[in-house]
Structure 1
Amino acid sequence: MEFTTRHFLMAILLLMLSRAPQGSPATPCPACGNTTVPFPLSTTSTCGDQSYKIRCSSGTLIFDTLNNSYPIESIDAKSQRLVIQPAALVQNTCVSTDKVHQGIQLNSTLPFNITSSNTIVYLNCTLTLLQSPLNCSAASACHAYINATASAASCQSGPLCCTYRTGGSSNSYMIRVRDSGCSAYSSFVNLNSAQPVSRWPEPGLEIQWLSPRETVCGSQEDCDSATSTCGPDASSTIGIKRCFCHDGLVWDPIQGVCSKKITCQNPDGCGDSTKKKAIIAGSVCGAGAAIILAIIAFLLYKRNKRIKEAQARLAKEREGILNASNGGRAAKLFSGKEIKKATNDFSNDRLLGVGGYGEVYKGFLQDGTPVAVKCAKLGNAKGIDQVLNEVRILCQVNHRNLVGLLGCCVELEQPILVYEFIENGTLLDHLQGQIPKGRGLLSWTHRLQIARHTAEGLAYLHFMAVPPVYHRDVKSSNILLDINMYAKVSDFGLSRLAQTDMSHISTCAQGTLGYLDPEYYRNYQLTDKSDVYSFGVVLLELLTAQKAIDFNRAPDDVNLAVYVHRMVEEELLVDVIDPVLKNVATTIELETMKAVAFLALGCLEEKRQNRPSMKEVAEEIEYIISIASAKVVE
């Protein structure tokens, strides 16, 4: 009797499945512990899709990489994603347990890849990563993680830590850990790094799987004849066949079945509405639309009123900030109308360049004077702060080797600066050939004069301005040349006024890679010697005509300062001198070139107390020029 009843129930079940509208699904895998295993994931050879294999071990799902295994924390079938648990740190060290496997390395032949939802925290990294696109700055979230995580306490003594957001492309397969990069890592899904570490999610790495194709078949017997037909896969080069859905059905990669095409989203049906319903609906919609339009009009009126009031308050606040110049001259205020007329309403043909702060346009004042007009980016609060800071700095100083500020405009949405126009481009443009014959026009005499002008401008900021000013972004692209090759230092957006009772300013390190004082980067202590270091790099650029950071050089020589220092140690200094100079140089000129190189290396001393002051640098350059001039007289 039990046998007959069981067979009867099975017959009823088979009859129900044969009449199911979506067709027969692929064989599902059994749950692993309390976790459901959705299609196409496969834990055995008889379920799921064999290209999507995972393992079930003692009630825990396991994801296998090329040379390691990681527990699966969660699975989301709808988004086709799973989260694995990253490797922990070896106890009392800053080394990940999977470092021996070089971190997480997925098999690129399988349909899995790492998503863009992951934020990777790299720990115990080498200093070579400063040249990478990773965020290794003092503001990186990795510092907060190390300080707030007990298991990462050993990482506090590491030389560097970095963060980056994974790419999420279909070819993103690895999180690499190695001696030449970083020795440890952690990963967080959908991390908001602005929150305290205590509110961060548990560590996890999100992996997505590609939508599976139709089920592979050998013959029609392998397919559900009611919903699909076994046929050749046109995209296959090895004769694979698949169960393709019948007309009117589509493949559902989440359920692994052929489903009916759904064109109606209304569960009650999609028949035509009655005329009465149409009239009622039309009346309701009309009345609702009228009410909505009235509300929108009122809100727009209130919004515009608030915007105008806010703009007026902002302009007044900016005027107060700019004119509070601590004894310096007040900035001349231009109207928005004057600025728009000068730049032809910010016409694209007047655009001179774009930087992190915003754009620079060429303009002409009413009397025909050419000017450079610098605008902060809309919505960029940092860029606006830098522009306002530049006004404050330039109102304190006045020197022939500093770019002249003519005034500013605070009426428009973003603050605007108006400078004297320096018509001959930047030093970097000349050295890198961006200006026709620019590098050829820079004779050794011209380069020495440019070095002297720049050094005198910086020495003025350090020793004559009250209070002293530290530029913080000295580089060849911030040195402008006029038609007579007279140099002027520009771009004071990152500058800081030094306080008279402080020997340094504790702040987050800012500047440009390749010019940044390593001691400032490590200690966040800003002094005049930070500008001296950056100027040393500029001297090397004048001598070699090479970029401060150039990935076309050998990996160990990417940094110009490191490269020249190595060549000097190997007694190959002459080999780094710009051939344009070296090929026509006299013996005395070569000696002065060597003198400039050794002066630059003095500026680049690791410890700032061993570097000369800018006043001493300017005097040394003056002495070198006198030697070169004596050669000319002879």
Structure 2
Amino acid sequence: MHPLYAWPFLIPLLLLPVPPSVQESDDYFRYTSCAPAPYSCGSLQFDVDYPFSASGVGRRPDYCSYPGYRLVCNTDGKLMIYMNSTAFQVTAIDYGNKILVVIDQNQPQPQETCPYLYHNTTIDEAKFMYTDRDQFLTAYVNCTANLSSLPSIYDLVSCISGGSSYYRLHKNKDDSLESDLLGSCSSTIAVPYNLTMAASLAAGNSRLGDVIRGGFTVRWKAGLGWCSDCKASGGQCGFNSSFPSDQTCYCSYGQAIGSCSSSSSSGQKISRKRKIIIATSTVAGVLLVLFFVVSFLYIRKRRQYKMSSSSRLLKYTTTSGETPRSRGSSDKFMESGSSSSFHYLQTHHFAYEELEAATDGFSDARELGDGGFGTVYKGELRDGRAVAVKRLYNNSWRRVEQFVNEAAILSRLRHPNLVLFYGCTSSRSRELLLVYEFVPNGTVADHLHGRRAAERALAWPLRLDIAVEAAAALAYLHAVEPVPVVHRDVKTNNILLDANFHVKVADFGLSRLFPRDATHVSTAPQGTPGYVDPEYHRCYQLTDKSDVYSFGVVLVELISSKPAVDVTRDRDEINLAGMAINRIQRSQVDELVDHELGYSSDQPTRKTMTMVAELAFRCLQQNGEMRPPIREVFDVLRGIQEECRAGKGGKRDASPCSPNTVHAPWDSMSTTPNTSQ
């Protein structure tokens, strides 16, 4: 039956008169009252929605907002919010990312240059959090000691006789300098600032006041996780003062917890007129369902007629705007994306309740950090396994696509240097969760230039081991059958270390399947600044050499202990890749490497570090065709590892140079392993 044949049955129903409206219930009134309301203040125009309330026009009932999230439009046409009795001007609001851009109004005007006039900026961390869009500036005021010799310290104009003032830019709020010299300063001032202002200040084009009054971003906490579910189910987020901890969702049929249920209208007292409406709607709904069922069966039958049966475990489909280009039959290539169903994943499906219990209800104390499209928590399963659980931020189409993409790719891979994937929740679960093995020793970035850098745990031989094992993982991905994988987000933050400092490459949310007969895949560039292949960024053409470029940046980080991007460096050296190319071309490797690794004191170390620098130079070529394939990079690193071992006289250090440090054999690259749990 063709679906068009069903329309004659629908037309009479569509022409039926609609019964008169009925008296709205109190619950339905709350549902309609909490809809987003248009609001304007000065030049700002937006819809006020949960968790905010607003003064004046656009005011909504208190049960539509969360306490403490009140916006006020003052007489100057500025939108204000108060945190811990401090006034902040709101210059932008982004409901999609739950972000406000704010300016501390208690700070002096930008033309002030004297650092002692400014004060610490703090936010209400019970209701808001800082974001990774900003960094922090600490000013050291009226210091009798000279701090210019300390790293990342810059001079400030001082208005106090007898002392000097300085400032430092750093990434983390609690990243403070530990030095006896700081005791010579009369005070310190810490403020967040917009990342785009950093280069201008370092170059001398902006004043301290411009940076402090330039604003910064905060993300609100109210409604995180559940409010998106409520809206996706057709409800409006709200607040019940009698049960403040409840996730109050107002639905057309009444009040719910978390999200609206399609069956929750049962048990409600319905008037006779409303019964008429429901009966009429039910008949129309049945016919509409019949129409869509017939349409689905018709389309499915046509597809089955055109497609032969397939033995593949996953169905691949090319997402919009990502079209493979090849010399051969590229139309046969399809990539894993959001249209892949969970039912095709050959992996274990966890119950949401099990993972909620394993993470103590996703407690903040269990949070490990950010995982690209979700927050990662440490948990312990009933069988005693320690796991890392990635929880999707919200169910936007792009994030769901990345979630399913990572699950689909990891479910078909197995290698000792890839993070082990245990499974995920099903598509019918309350939330989308991915479950991995717990890798306890942090990331390579943590140890090189992050929170654990002071431990100096990564000696040069161990860094060489890390390079070899990471290259082994990428070589496996690029050779896996039946369709290779391009990681597309290779960086030291995605290279985890286990208790024995062995590598576990993670985060496959941006990864793409790559056909053997394709020269590239046309797609909008994605990845992390500082690691993205410039040819990919310029031409929108992803290749397997894009991973090679990113890995070249990782190699430079290993020999230099410097981050891939650092706005506190000179303008021409903010990107580590550009700095490395410049230094290596000028035969100035000694100005690039971390000398604490033994470059100046140990000849074998100097030789092998130079060899890695030369390999990184080849990986960082602007033209992708000039870069070596990842398998060749792996082979060269193994040879350097043997050179390192020979230089040590065959002795094993605390972290040996042994070529056998890829600690376990991996499954054949010619087969797709079955990893279902």
TM-score normalised over the length of structure 2: 0.47
Query: In the TM superposition, what is the alpha-carbon distance from 1:415 to its structure 2 partner?
Result: 1.1
Aligned residues of 2:488 and 2:527 also touching (Cα < 8 A): yes
What is the letter of the counterpart of residue 548 of structure 1? A
Which of 464, 468, 486 in structure 2 is aligned with 1:452? 468
The total of aligned residue pairs comes to 347
Distance 1:482 1:354, change over 3 A: same
Paired position in structure 2 for 1:535: 551
Do structure 1's residue 435 and structure 2's residue 476 form an aligned pair? no
Query: In the TM superposition, what is the alpha-carbon distance from 1:344 to its structure 2 partner?
Result: 1.1
Paired position in structure 2 for 1:462: 478
Which of 522, 528, 531 in structure 2 is aligned with 1:512? 528
Which of 589, 592, 602 in structure 2 is aligned with 1:576? 592
Query: In the TM superposition, what is the alpha-carbon distance from 1:405 to its structure 2 partner?
Result: 0.1
Aligned residues of 1:362 and 1:371 also touching (Cα < 8 A): yes
Mapped to 1, the partners of 2:590 and 2:421 lie a distance apart of 40
Paired position in structure 2 for 1:24: none
Aligned residues of 2:362 and 2:377 also touching (Cα < 8 A): yes
Query: In the TM superposition, what is the alpha-carbon distance from 1:368 to its structure 2 partner?
Result: 1.2
Paired position in structure 2 for 1:304: 261
Paired position in structure 2 for 1:493: 509
Query: In the TM superposition, what is the alpha-carbon distance from 1:169 to its structure 2 partner?
Result: 11
Distance 1:583 1:627, change over 3 A: closer
What is the letter of the counterpart of residue 622 of structure 1? R
Paired position in structure 2 for 1:403: 419
Distance 1:469 1:592, change over 3 A: same
Query: In the TM superposition, what is the alpha-carbon distance from 1:296 to its structure 2 partner?
Result: 5.6
Distance 1:378 1:589, change over 3 A: same
Query: In the TM superposition, what is the alpha-carbon distance from 1:612 to its structure 2 partner?
Result: 0.3
Distance 1:506 1:633, change over 3 A: same
Mapped to 2, the partners of 1:541 and 1:615 lie a distance apart of 20
SS in structure 2 of the partner of residue 549 of structure 1:
coil
Mapped to 2, the partners of 1:79 and 1:449 lie a distance apart of 58
SS in structure 1 of the partner of residue 349 of structure 2:
coil
Aligned residues of 1:377 and 1:384 also touching (Cα < 8 A): no
Distance 1:543 1:465, change over 3 A: farther
Aligned residues of 1:114 and 1:172 also touching (Cα < 8 A): no
Query: In the TM superposition, what is the alpha-carbon distance from 1:590 to its structure 2 partner?
Result: 0.3
Mapped to 2, the partners of 1:307 and 1:490 lie a distance apart of 41
What is the letter of the counterpart of residue 344 of structure 2? A
Mapped to 1, the partners of 2:264 and 2:373 lie a distance apart of 24
Do structure 1's residue 475 and structure 2's residue 491 form an aligned pair? yes
Mapped to 2, the partners of 1:378 and 1:80 lie a distance apart of 31
Paired position in structure 1 for 2:438: 421
Query: In the TM superposition, what is the alpha-carbon distance from 1:594 to its structure 2 partner?
Result: 0.6
Mapped to 2, the partners of 1:307 and 1:468 lie a distance apart of 47
Which consecutive residues of structure 1, in runs of 5 or more, have no partner in the other structure? Answer: 1-77, 83-112, 117-164, 174-293, 310-316
SS in structure 1 of the partner of residue 519 of structure 2:
coil
Q: Deviations over 1:337-389 (max 9, x none)?
A: 11111111111111111244110000001121100001111243322221111
Do structure 1's residue 321 and structure 2's residue 341 form an aligned pair? yes
Paired position in structure 1 for 2:613: 597
Aligned residues of 1:426 and 1:477 also touching (Cα < 8 A): yes
Which of 338, 355, 380 in structure 2 is aligned with 1:364? 380
Query: In the TM superposition, what is the alpha-carbon distance from 1:584 to its structure 2 partner?
Result: 6.5
Mapped to 1, the partners of 2:520 and 2:349 lie a distance apart of 33
Distance 1:169 1:624, change over 3 A: same
Distance 1:580 1:336, change over 3 A: same
Mapped to 2, the partners of 1:554 and 1:436 lie a distance apart of 22
Distance 1:570 1:579, change over 3 A: same
Do structure 1's residue 550 and structure 2's residue 566 form an aligned pair? yes
Q: What CA RMSD, in Å, does the superposition of the two structures yield over aligned residues?
A: 3.5
What is the letter of the counterpart of residue 413 of structure 1? R
Q: Deviations over 1:120-155 (max 9, x none)?
A: xxxxxxxxxxxxxxxxxxxxxxxxxxxxxxxxxxxx
Query: In the TM superposition, what is the alpha-carbon distance from 1:536 to its structure 2 partner?
Result: 0.1
Distance 1:510 1:306, change over 3 A: farther
Which of 631, 635, 646 in structure 2 is aligned with 1:619? 635
Q: Deviations over 1:210-248 (max 9, x none)?
A: xxxxxxxxxxxxxxxxxxxxxxxxxxxxxxxxxxxxxxx
Query: In the TM superposition, what is the alpha-carbon distance from 1:513 to its structure 2 partner?
Result: 0.4
What is the letter of the counterpart of residue 571 of structure 2? P
Show the 5 A alignment for 1:561-572.
561-572=577-588
Query: In the TM superposition, what is the alpha-carbon distance from 1:167 to its structure 2 partner?
Result: 9.7
Aligned residues of 2:41 and 2:78 also touching (Cα < 8 A): no
Mapped to 2, the partners of 1:565 and 1:614 lie a distance apart of 19
Query: In the TM superposition, what is the alpha-carbon distance from 1:499 to its structure 2 partner?
Result: 2.8
Aligned residues of 1:323 and 1:331 also touching (Cα < 8 A): no
Mapped to 2, the partners of 1:331 and 1:391 lie a distance apart of 9
Q: Deviations over 1:427-448 (max 9, x none)?
A: 000001412754x221111001
Query: In the TM superposition, what is the alpha-carbon distance from 1:492 to its structure 2 partner?
Result: 0.2
Aligned residues of 2:491 and 2:554 also touching (Cα < 8 A): yes
SS in structure 2 of the partner of residue 504 of structure 1:
strand
Aligned residues of 1:114 and 1:168 also touching (Cα < 8 A): no
What is the letter of the counterpart of residue 422 of structure 1? V
Q: Which moved more, 1:487-496 or 1:340-349?
A: 340-349
What is the letter of the counterpart of residue 481 of structure 1? L
Aligned residues of 1:519 and 1:608 also touching (Cα < 8 A): yes
Aligned residues of 2:372 and 2:507 also touching (Cα < 8 A): no
What is the letter of the counterpart of residue 322 of structure 1? F
Mapped to 2, the partners of 1:393 and 1:562 lie a distance apart of 32
Query: In the TM superposition, what is the alpha-carbon distance from 1:592 to its structure 2 partner?
Result: 0.8
Distance 1:408 1:319, change over 3 A: farther
Query: In the TM superposition, what is the alpha-carbon distance from 1:320 to its structure 2 partner?
Result: 7.2
Do structure 1's residue 383 and structure 2's residue 340 form an aligned pair? no
Paired position in structure 2 for 1:343: 359
Aligned residues of 1:537 and 1:600 also touching (Cα < 8 A): yes
Distance 1:436 1:572, change over 3 A: closer
Distance 1:307 1:333, change over 3 A: farther
Distance 1:623 1:390, change over 3 A: same
Mapped to 1, the partners of 2:262 and 2:386 lie a distance apart of 37
TM-score normalised over the length of structure 1: 0.50
Query: In the TM superposition, what is the alpha-carbon distance from 1:567 to its structure 2 partner?
Result: 1.5
Aligned residues of 1:377 and 1:414 also touching (Cα < 8 A): no
Distance 1:447 1:477, change over 3 A: same
SS in structure 2 of the partner of residue 600 of structure 1:
helix
Aligned residues of 2:387 and 2:435 also touching (Cα < 8 A): yes
Query: In the TM superposition, what is the alpha-carbon distance from 1:622 to its structure 2 partner?
Result: 0.3
Mapped to 1, the partners of 2:77 and 2:573 lie a distance apart of 33
Distance 1:307 1:630, change over 3 A: farther
Distance 1:454 1:524, change over 3 A: same
Paired position in structure 2 for 1:588: 604
Mapped to 2, the partners of 1:623 and 1:304 lie a distance apart of 61
Which of 518, 541, 551 in structure 2 is aligned with 1:525? 541
Query: In the TM superposition, what is the alpha-carbon distance from 1:572 to its structure 2 partner?
Result: 1.5
Which of 410, 417, 421 in structure 2 is aligned with 1:394? 410
Q: Which moved more, 1:393-402 or 1:423-432?
A: 393-402
What is the letter of the counterpart of residue 547 of structure 2? D
Mapped to 1, the partners of 2:561 and 2:540 lie a distance apart of 30
Larger RCO of the pair (alpha carbons < 8 Å, separation 6+): 2
Query: In the TM superposition, what is the alpha-carbon distance from 1:115 to its structure 2 partner?
Result: 10
